[in-house]
Amino acid sequence: PRHECGNRKSCPSNHFAFRLISGAANVVGPSICFNDQILMSNVRNNIGRGLNIALVNGTTGELLRTGAFDMYSG
């Protein structure tokens, strides 16, 4: 069976499924999946070097904002 965000198990009905993939240097980019939707990835062209953050409403699951914080250049 297929589970949300490619997880191994299904989440309880009152929880959100998510999956974070950190990436590997500049070869494989990071990705963030939440509630079976890709929020950030190379394909969506919305990731950057450093910390990639997705702000999501904890009640509705609505994506509010995405951003990247470059920790290398300050």
In a domain, 59, yes or no: yes
Q: Taking a C-beta distance cutoff of 8 angstroms, is the pair 30, 47 a contact?
A: yes
Q: Which domain holds residue 62?
A: 4-69
CA distance 48 to 62: 22
13-23 pLDDT, tens digit each: 888 999 999 88
Claim: this prediction has a pTM higher than 0.85: no
The total number of structural domains that make up the chain: 1
In a domain, 36, yes or no: yes
10-67 pLDDT, tens digit each: 988 888 999 999 887 777 888 999 999 999 998 899 998 888 999 999 899 899 999 9
CA distance 37 to 69: 22
67, 45, 44: which is closest to 54 by C-alpha?
Answer: 67
In a domain, 35, yes or no: yes
Q: And the tokens for 1?
A: 């069976």
